[in-house]
Structure 1
Amino acid sequence: PSGSCAGHVRYFYPEMFPEGSRERQEAIAIGRRTYEFTEFMVKVLGVRDVGARFPGRAVFHNNCHMQRELRVQEEPVEMLRCVRDLELVEIPRPDLCCGFGGAFSVKEPEISTAMADDKLDAVLATGADLIVSSDLGCLMHQGGRIERRGLPIRTLHIAQLLWEGVQQNGR
């Protein structure tokens, strides 16, 4: 699951049940076994390089919950650095939110749009043609703004990039 979903299952799902209940204990056990994709690949399986090749210039967008709740920051970058022919560039203030935030984008559409546009302007300044993230909500939000603005940028989930990269490399 995404960082937002994994964080919810790990830290907030148990709180839905009474203290000391069997259900709460089961929720805690489920949370201990729930990982964001790159967190699982790197920390559990010890895999950083899947043999992918993906030509392009990319930025990685780390979503808010993945950074702040799960504290997953380096794992996706470590995996992307292993992708052959992928130039990974950093945007200024990579920790800033994309503006999606679930209900936030509906409740505060003007602010949400401005945040997305700020993020996209930073991406454009790097010359990147690809935004990679582990969060489909962020990718959907940024993709919508890319389409509206007619920008020459593609969005991909990191698992998609790795899969396509493995296919391109003939594995």
Structure 2
Amino acid sequence: MSQSVAAKRYALALFNLAQEQGQTAIIQEELHELKNVFQTNKELEQLLGSPKLSVAKKKALLTDLFKGANVHILNTLSFLLDRKRINEIIAIVDEFNGFANDAAGVAEAKVYSTRALTAEESESISKAFAQKVGKQSLKIENIIEPSLLGGIRLQIGNSIYDSSVSAKLERLKRDLIGS
């Protein structure tokens, strides 16, 4: 999550508006795409932060780029341009996701495994670990990491659950050698 107080405030305002309108899931999905655009196109953020372009031209550019986007997202982008805070967009998306996930009883988790997890495996992991963190379910991002040798490593926020073969071998080595 972001450390920006402004990002948290903007995200909360957008989240409250999305809830009032019953559009939380739609806006969350569109914000995910928006974040991808800003993360993969660093030039866009630089262009929008440039003093050489007028705010009106920047707004026209964003309106053209995100034609089909939700009106609340377009208004938020416009507002951020007016306040010279467009660099906060990724932090705002992260904060919004936090609010939306909390409201839905969902936690985001990263599952590291040696191969892609099946839908059944993801569901099983979600059921087993969601209760441990006091949530209804987990939104799992599967990351392939062959160095685990087998098993999984799960990260939910700051908590890590490691049942990988490599971690077990490391613990065994420490127990046997004492180092």
TM range (shorter): under 0.3
Question: Whose helix fraction is larger, Structure 1's or Structure 2's?
Answer: 2
TM-score (norm 2): 0.25
Bigger Rg, structure 1 or 2: 2
TM-score (norm 1): 0.26
